[in-house]
Structure 1
């Protein structure tokens, strides 16, 4: 009510007393003025004739033409990233990572101790490094420089430099021999500052564990150590693994927390650990005992009841059950049945949950070999017809040179992990380059095998065999050879020491296998006793990342009986894809007057090859030059009268389960009946 007069003219006292009534009075219509009036003007009307234009247009003003600016030499592309002009430090050590990226290190004291690893990690993650130097633009460089500056700051903190500073500069670099073209270059000067150390370390309830000192020793961080977040992650993993391998089945470790104190230049680390008590193994309990019994699963496990719990053994049991091929899914879960009491550990039973897989398999294969002809193979198998893990397999082969019908019973994991009981009965007809044999046989074996999942340094097998075979040497030129019947019984044993790094594609290590088989044979009313033996050795050595040299030797002999007393199928031969490449299967050895390979009593083979990787198909293809030799002798000791050499080139294509092998071999000293080239296709290396 006491407003100044100017305000009273706009808002009278009646409006203040009753604003609603005053607002409803409305306003007076606007008064048109010359300024508000709309005037129509033609588009080409001169400026001097515009209505309301009272100012005279200057006629004598002349504007100077714009001058084109020349670029200054050494111009810097500054202020591209923000409003601050930044200048590189002249006394810094520099590392040029590319034409567009330079790192400077001006700090001398304290020295940047992690500089080498820091630069390598930054170079691997830098977004500027991803640019193509020929196509980059200032805008691209500026945008990526912001990201790289943030990356550098994060990396400094990873290594414990929490007071670091990054000075960013955009400058110019010369391109071309004449130096006439300028292009941008980013430089980061890195001043890491002091490196922080660990202060207090809190590991939660770890001190309450029975093995507190041993567990604490596995966490390799102590107060006063330099701080590095990578180390925290690694040592947390080490502690978790140690807990799992020392009996703490239910241990928990929460995410670490790091509190940085800039005044102390330290970081206090807290890793909440809850050991939850120590345990030993109890029983293994199957969720489907009629399919895979609890007793059988306990035989597969690598632990016994009462052993200290280890997480690795729990996972090993899961892998072993998966490897049976009988389950589609499997879980192994520890369950407390006795709680820990004082210094006494608790007991956990291992609950195994399984879901059955499809158990019947029908398989077939068809192939052709230049020496073996056509071969068609088919089989039917039920993998758990006799639980647990008792399989029945029916198989048959029809081919140019081989026919077979057989039935096999196999019991996997029989009284122990990877121990296999096999009974096999078959009838076969084989017509090879060396002999023609009609055979009925029954074999049995018990072996400890090395598998793709569990390759073993030592594997072995023992067994026995009985057979009846009606055999003769091949018919040559229409001249029939007399057939002869042999009744043979044998026991055998085999052992292999294997230090190689792969069953199918080794790159280092060696293998050594020995085989012995005392055998007896009755033919034409005579009984003969003899000993078959064989030694195989192979060695593998990586020469470079892409090249492996491999070599093998084989020696075999038959002691105690003359050559004629042995069935042709039991004699020694050489030749083929696993022997001397370039020659047919069993085509190397002494020959009779009709040109028939008679086989021998001793054999020596040797092979060497280089497995050279290529860049084709992402490095999956390798080329393999090779050289083989083999000699078969009539005598029990080699006399090298019949030595054959073969050489050639192979291809390998690496798959997830092993290499596919194609070898083309050429005989170097062939006989007239030998082919000029032989091709071999299989899975896995030749040896």
Structure 2
């Protein structure tokens, strides 16, 4: 059935020009409208040659149709956002819309963002651009010489990314206008013959920002701490929408539930329903608190290895304390830190359910798997002045359960040999507290003295570890030492020996605000060592105090430069120098003291020119730890300047201040930096070498 002309979506003027009769029977309408067509007599009696359909027309007859003066076409409309949004001036040129006065952000030679919307302002623009720049596929090119086809393909991906980011920030009616063109590289003129760079520009029109509508958090209102828990979820109706805030606030609410005793709380996946008529999104996130609980007993899956009672001493909670998930996680870390387990799980188990205002009780069921308990360790160090030092140890970490360790250690070096046996009980009497007993025998043959020593040291301490760096560390102990010592030999002739019997009560305390135990970049450390001692030698009994204070500070200057400084002062008041065993006097020099000088080579000297030690010492050092790009930033260059002075008196006289300067390398590994320092003495003595080299693990301080 033919379609009537007036039934088509046609302008009224065209309907008058082409009536329905023209559509139904075009030939009759043409004769009626324009008369009979030309016949043979009209053409002068000539016959009209019949046209061959295979032959093209050489002369086409002219056809003229009068254009109606009253024909009007509908205007072309550009679909822009609502009328209450204001834009910068724009030109309509071709198929794209170019905003001539938009704020432009140029991300690279190929990519520009335009922001033409003036009111309402795009308040999240800075964060929006930063996130787009991190995810953009065009941004990755950054001058890689791509062509227009490649750029166009990436532009489609980035256009979708921009639209998705707008929705993340609550702009569900936003639009992205894309235009692709070329520019001359480096600001050159197009007439210079330079190959143009393809570019893409996105004009971002966010439109109106949607807001959060109704918020449904399920049964959260039934919890006893409903008001406090609701404050942890910081999204309110009427606030501007940002969808990724939902996950952040969901995490905060889950954390709050875990910290206020809700051991079995559950939060279902959130759902956001967008209503385009209201410009709002309704959030539904069912919360099931599950009741409040307190801690009960701690149980162990391997009572003979690490008993539940012992694990309870490690925990930072007592039975009856309100359940906190952070304390549960802390217990797990502490068990891992013992080094005795390969894996650990903690499962809260309901012992009794909550009743009315009475909380329930939850037990902590700890599942553990034993790790390898025997460890062999070793270390090698070298100093050009003190020679080679090799240390090795064997340890069984749980020979006396729980956490009772036996350790055998030895040192073989150019100047020192040692053999020792130690017993250690970790987490003894409390978390991170260690009781240890160490017996050793050693020989030292150094330029300062020759000593054969046997000692016994018992300590009770609280020290920092790699997993738990503590702001305050301390130790207290008892030390018994018997040492047979003599000055260095002269021309192969040994000096007479002198035996010292020493008893002391060494104490230590440290304040630590640094950000890393092995490689600090910020903060400071201050420590003090105090050891009241009594010494007996050749019938003379002496009382004195060995005291030393160390302080160091660290500051990051740039992303790749850390400046570190250290000062130290030590003194031994109470008796004369000759009543103090040479091995317990103060010396300076070496890799951990004043670099550029030999170990214990700085200080007063006897009549033969050998170091005799002193009753006071002052040291200082400053160095810059400069990260390089070598090996993915694992190598640092460290210039340093050290200074030190040792005096025979309790008050430093600074008669001789030794200075050392040099440069070092650090190679950062997963267990700390490897250190190589090369130092040069600035004011060497007759026995000092021109260069000293030190190799060890860890920073100098």
Coarse TM-score class (shorter-chain normalised): 0.7 to 0.9
Equivalent in the alignment of 1:223? 237
My pick for the range that moved more, 84-93 or 586-595, is 84-93
For 2:139, the equivalent position in structure 1 comes to 129
Looking at structure 1, the residues matched to 182 and 135 of structure 2 have their Cα atoms a distance apart, in angstroms, of 23
In structure 2, the residue matched to 1:156 is 166
Deviations 1:12-38 (A, max 9, x none): xxxxxxxxxxxxxxxxxxxxxxxxxxx
Verify the 8 A CA contact 1:476 1:596 in the aligned structure 2. no
Q: What aligned pairs does 1:537-616 form with structure 2 within 5 A after superposition?
A: 537-616=551-630
Contact kept in structure 2, 1:88 and 1:187, CA below 8 Å: no
Q: Please report how far the alpha carbon of residue 204 of structure 1 lies from its aligned counterpart in structure 2 after TM superposition.
A: 0.9
Structure 1 stretch displaced more, 601-610 or 89-98:
89-98
Which residue number corresponds to residue 420 of structure 2? 406
Q: Secondary structure at the match of 1:616?
A: coil
Match of residue 302, structure 1, among 316, 320, 323 = 316
Are the structure 2 counterparts of residues 174 and 409 from structure 1 closer, same or farther at C-alpha, using a change threshold of 3 Å?
same
Contact 2:108–2:142 under 8 Å retained in 1: no
Aligned length: 611
- 1:89 matched to 2:103? The reply is no
Tell me the equivalent position of 1:341: 355
Which digits, 9 at most, give the CA deviation of each residue in 1:403-444, with x for residues without a partner?
111100011111111101110011111111210000111110
What's the counterpart of residue 695 of structure 2?
Answer: 681
In structure 2, the partner of 1:120 is 130
Structure-2 separation of matches of 1:635 and 1:107: 78
Question: Displacement of 1:183 after TM fit?
Answer: 4.2
String of CA shifts for 1:313-362, please: whole Å, max 9, x gaps.
Answer: 11111111111111111111111101111111111111110011111122
CA distance 1:568–1:55, shift in 2 (3 Å): same
Matches of 2:574 and 2:111, distance apart in 1:
79
What RMSD in Å do the two structures reach over aligned CA positions?
Answer: 1.8
CA distance in 2, matches of 1:447, 1:149: 62
Q: CA deviation at 1:95?
A: 2.4
Unaligned runs of 5+ in 2: 1-51, 59-93
Q: Secondary structure at the match of 1:451?
A: coil
Contact 1:590 1:642 in 2 (8 A): no
> Relative to structure 1, is the Cα distance of residues 533 and 173 closer, same or farther in structure 2, using a 3 angstrom cutoff?
same
Q: What is the TM-score normalised by the length of structure 1?
A: 0.86
Give the CA deviation at 1:137.
1.2
Deviations 1:289-325 (A, max 9, x none): 1101111111111111111111111111111111111
Going from structure 1 to structure 2, the CA distance change for 1:396 and 1:182 (only over 3 Å counts) comes to: closer
Summarize deviations over 1:153-205 as a string: whole Å, max 9, x none: 10000000001111222233234624144443222222111000111111111
TM (norm. structure 2) is 0.85
Give distance in 2, aligned partners of 1:96 and 1:553. Answer: 50
Equivalent residues of 2:624, 2:640 under 8 A apart = yes
SS at 2:346 equivalent = strand
Q: Distance in 1 between matches of 2:284 and 2:54?
A: 83
Question: Partner residue of 2:69?
Answer: none
CA 1:55–1:290 in structure 2 vs 1: closer, same or farther (change >3 Å)?
closer
SS in 1 for 2:494: coil
1:179 aligns with 2:179: no
SS class of match (1:112): coil
How far off is 1:377 after superposition? 2.7
Listed as ranges, the matches of 1:478-493 within 5 Å are 478-493=492-507
Q: Which moved more, 1:112-121 or 1:357-366?
A: 357-366
Instruction: String of CA shifts for 1:63-102, please: whole Å, max 9, x gaps.
Output: xxxxxxxxxxxxxxxxxxxxx9333233433222222222
The aligned residue for residue 622 of structure 1 is: 636
Would you say 1:101 and 2:111 are equivalent positions? yes
SS in 2 for 1:87: strand
Q: How does 1:237-316 map to 2 (within 5 A)?
A: 237-316=251-330
Question: The residue matched to 2:119 in structure 1 has which SS?
Answer: coil
Aligned equivalent of 1:509: 523
CA separation of 1:162/1:57 partners in 2, compared to 1, >3 Å: closer, same or farther? Answer: closer
Structure 1's consecutive aligned runs of 4 or more residues displaced over 4 angstroms after TM superposition are 54-58
Hey, what's the Cα distance between the residues in 1 that align with 2:373 and 2:669? 25
Of the three residues 449, 462, 465, the one matched with 1:448 is: 462
Separation in 2 of the partners of 1:544 and 1:175?
Answer: 33
Indicate if the aligned counterparts of 2:383 and 2:591 stay in contact, CA closer than 8 A. no
**Aligned-partner Cα distance in 2 for 1:423–1:183:** 74
The equivalences for 1:319-334 within 5 A come to 319-334=333-348
Q: What residue number does 2:377 align with?
A: 363
Whole-Å Cα distance in 2 between the matches of residues 113 and 643 of structure 1? 61
Higher deviation after alignment, 167-176 or 289-298: 167-176
What SS is found at the alignment partner of 2:105? strand
Q: Does structure 2 retain, via aligned residues, the 8 Å contact 1:88–1:168? A: no
Match of 1:234 among 228, 248, 253: 248
Q: How far, CA to CA, are the matches of 1:554 and 1:56 in structure 2?
A: 110
Change (3 A) 1:556 1:133: closer
Q: Is the 8 A contact 1:516 1:534 kept in 2?
A: yes
Shift of 1:641: 1.5
Residues 373, 171 of structure 1: CA spacing in aligned structure 2 closer, same or farther, 3 A cutoff? closer
The match for 1:381 is 395
Cα deviation for residue 367 of structure 1 reads 4.2
CA distance in 1 between counterparts of 2:535 and 2:608 reads: 26
Provide the C-alpha distance between the structure 2 equivalents of 1:409 and 1:247, rounded to a whole number of angstroms.
40
Equivalent residue for 1:142?
Answer: 152
Instruction: Please name the residue that 2:222 is paired with.
Output: 208
In the alignment, is the contact (CA less than 8 A) between 1:485 and 1:524 conserved in 2?
yes
Task: In structure 1, list runs of 5 or more residues that go unmatched.
Answer: 1-53, 61-83
